[in-house]
Chain A
Amino acid sequence: MFSTRRLVFLSLLVALGAVLHVLEGMFPIPLPLPGVKLGLANIVTLFAIRLYGLRGGLAVATARVLLGSLIGGVFLSPGFLLALSGAILSTLVMAWLFNHTSCFSLIGISMAGAVGHNLGQLLAASLILRSSAVFYYLPVLLLAAIPTGFFTGYILRSLLDRLEKTGQLRGMTRE
C-alpha cells in the first residue's frame, strides 16, 4: 500500500491531472488537425512514474481519466473509453522505458508515451467501431506526437530541475 504521505501527493497529482484533462478538452489547439492535443495531463502521469513508479503512474492516470470524464460529463461515453485506453497504454509504455532503459531522457519517454496514447486510442476506437478504418489517421497522430511529446517532456524536465534545486523533490518521495 501507499503510505499516507504518498497518498496525499498522489491525490494532488490526480486533481492536477483531471484539471489539465478537462481544460485541454475545452480549448482545442488552433490547428487544422482534428484530434491533436498537447497531452498536458501526460506531464502529471510521467511525474507520478518518476516519483512512485508504474503503480503510482497507473493509479494517477486512471483516476485522472475517471475524474476528468465525470467533470466533463462524458463518463462511459466512447470518448471516455478512448481516453482511458490511451492513458493506460501510454503509462505502461512510459513506465517500461523509464524502468528498463537508460538511453532515453524524459523527453524521449514523453514522446513514446504520446505514441502509446495514440495507439491506445485508435485501438479502442477500432474495437468500438469494429473497423480498422481509424488507423488511416495514425500517421497524422504520429507526426504530432513528436512536437507534443517534446513539449510535455521539456516542461516536466524544467519542473523536476526546479524541484530538485529547492529540495522539494526529496520531500515528495520520502516515506
Chain B
Amino acid sequence: MTRGDKCLAAGILLTAILAIALPRLHSSLFSIATSSTRAVIKAQGKIVREVDLSDRGGRSTFVVNGRVGPSTLEVEGKRIRMKEADCPDKICVRQGWIEKPGDSIVCIPGEIIVRIEGAAPLDAVTR
C-alpha cells in the first residue's frame, strides 16, 4: 500500500463515519420529537400506506403489493420490518427491524420503500 492508498482508505472511512454520525447529531441537537413516529410505505413511486408507530406493544402484519409480488410487513411496537418478500435476493428482509426517523428499508426488485418519519409538526424553521 502506498501513502496515497492509505489516505484514500482514511478518506473513505471518515466520509462513512461522518455520514453515519451527522444525521444522528443533527436530530439530537435539534431534539426533533421522536416520541411519535410513523412509517411511510411507498410502492412503485406512490405512497400506499402510512402506519403510526406509537408504542402500543401490539404486533400486526399487513401486505403491500410490489412489482414482483406481495410483501409482508410486520409492525411490533415502535418498529417495523419486512417479514417476507417475493424478491429474489431478500436484502430487504435481511435488513431487519428499523425504528429511528430516517431509517429505511428498500426493496429494489419490488420497488418498495419503507421510511420512518418523525411526526414533528414542522419540517423546518427559518428565522
Tell me the A residues contacting B by CB distance below 8 Å: 28, 32, 34-35, 74, 77-79, 82, 101, 103-105, 107-108, 111-112, 115, 125, 128-131, 133-134, 136-140, 142-143, 145-146, 150
Contact = CB atoms under 8 A, between A and B. Distances in A.
Interface stretch (B9-17, B29-37, B48-56, B119-127): B9-17
A128 B108 CA distance: 8
Interface residues of B, number: 32
Given A104-B4, A111-B5, A139 B20 contact: yes
Contact of B4 (A74, A103, A133, A150): A103
Nearest to B114: A133
A82 B1 contact: no
A146 B3 CA distance: 15
Contact of B16 (A107, A108, A143): A143
B73 interface: no
Contacts of B16: 138-140, 142-143
Given A103-B2, A104-B2, A130-B45, A115 B12 contact: yes
Given A34-B95, A111-B8, A79 B109 contact: yes
A118 B1 CA distance: 22
Nearest to B103: A136
A142 B104 contact: no
A146 B108 contact: no
20 contacts: A34-B90, A34-B94, A35-B91, A77-B109, A101-B4, A103-B3, A104-B2, A104-B5, A104-B8, A105-B2, A108-B2, A108-B5, A112-B8, A129-B45, A129-B106, A133-B106, A133-B113, A136-B106, A139-B20, A140-B16
B17 to A, nearest CB: 8
B78 interface: no
Contacts of B5: 104-105, 107-108, 111
B94 A32 contact: yes
Interface in B69-95: 88-92, 94-95
Interface in B39-63: 42, 45
Of B16, B92, B109, B111, most buried by chain A (CB within 10 Å of CB) is B16
Contacts of B19: 138-139, 142
Contacts of A108: 1-2, 4-5, 8-9
